Amino acid sequence: MATYWLTLRLADAMPKERMTEIKEQAAAIAEEEGGDDAAKKRTLARLIEEEMNRWHGDCWLRDDEVARTVVAALQAGHGRKYTLRAWCLLPNHLQVVFSVAEGVDAGAVVREWSNYTTRQVNILVGREGEVFWEKMPYLKACMDDAEVLKRVRGVEFRPVNGGLCQRPRDWKWSSARQSGAGNGAARGDAGRTTPGGRTGTAKPTRPADGTAEDEGERDPFA
């Protein structure tokens, strides 16, 4: 099974002009600090996350009915086309870690989620033919089990890092909440699915700084 990390933003979540500014800022920082391409990418990712934490746009995913519609779409193919490892709905974007069955195209799965939820949400909120998600989602293949664990933790800690709650399980629209996990780490043996629909890939680990995992601190692996 190939495993992927997805970030899918609402269409108005990141103003185009602001994204251009962020890219220029990241390039300037990298040049000043003499970092390589990897360092530049890390800087860019940090700046984008900080900007996303400003919660631009209409933030439709704050609406419980909209959120339920999106979660239902995610869970519809779980156990058949794909396995959900972790997922989290934020006010203006969605993050998912999922593994696709053999022969299943991950991009096609994302398009199905996007197209279906766009139709359903537009009906739900009384819009007609309007764009809901951004056109170009970020979809990245995970290289190994270590990266899968990192991404699972990052997704479930996203509300904590965004200042929305103190612990992963405190956030209503998250696999951490629905599975009862308290630290955002994948639990159990590889291949065993939790009640929240996540398949464990490794034993839970403690943060690198040795602090308690459940105190609401920023996840050091994010």
Give the tens place of pLDDT for each residue, 174-188: 999 876 544 333 332
List the one residue out of 157, 203, 206, 190 whose CA is nearest residue 53.
157
pLDDT at 32: 81
How many contiguous H segments (helices) and E segments (strands) does the chain have? Answer: 6, 4
Predicted confidence (pLDDT) at residue 18 exceeds the cutoff of 90: no
Between 78 and 204, name the one with better pLDDT.
Answer: 78
- Enumerate the domain spans of the chain: 2-179
pLDDT in tens, 55-76: 888 999 999 999 999 999 999 9
**What does the pLDDT look like over 110-169, one tens digit per residue?**
999 999 999 999 999 998 888 999 988 999 999 999 999 999 999 999 999 999 999 999
What is the arithmetic mean of pLDDT over 186-212?
A: 31
pLDDT at residue 17 greater than cutoff 90: no
* Confidence category of residue 26, pLDDT binned at 50, 70, 90: confident
DSSP string over 142-178: --SHHHHHHHHHHHHHHHHHTTS-SSGGG-SSBHHHH
Copy the structure tokens of residue 153.
Answer: 């933790």
CATH number, domain 2-179: 3.30.70.1290
Residue 202 tokens, joined: 């490794």
% pLDDT > 90, the chain: 55
SS3 94: strand
pTM (2 d.p.): 0.75
pLDDT for residue 22: 85
Q: What average pLDDT is seen over the chain?
A: 80
Judge whether 143 and 201 are in contact, CB under 8 Å.
no
pLDDT band at 207 (very low <50, low <70, confident <90, very high): very low
53's tokens: 């934490």
Beta partners for residue 142, in sequence order: none
Helices (H), the chain: 16-33, 37-52, 64-76, 106-125, 145-161, 175-179
Span 79-98, average pLDDT: 96
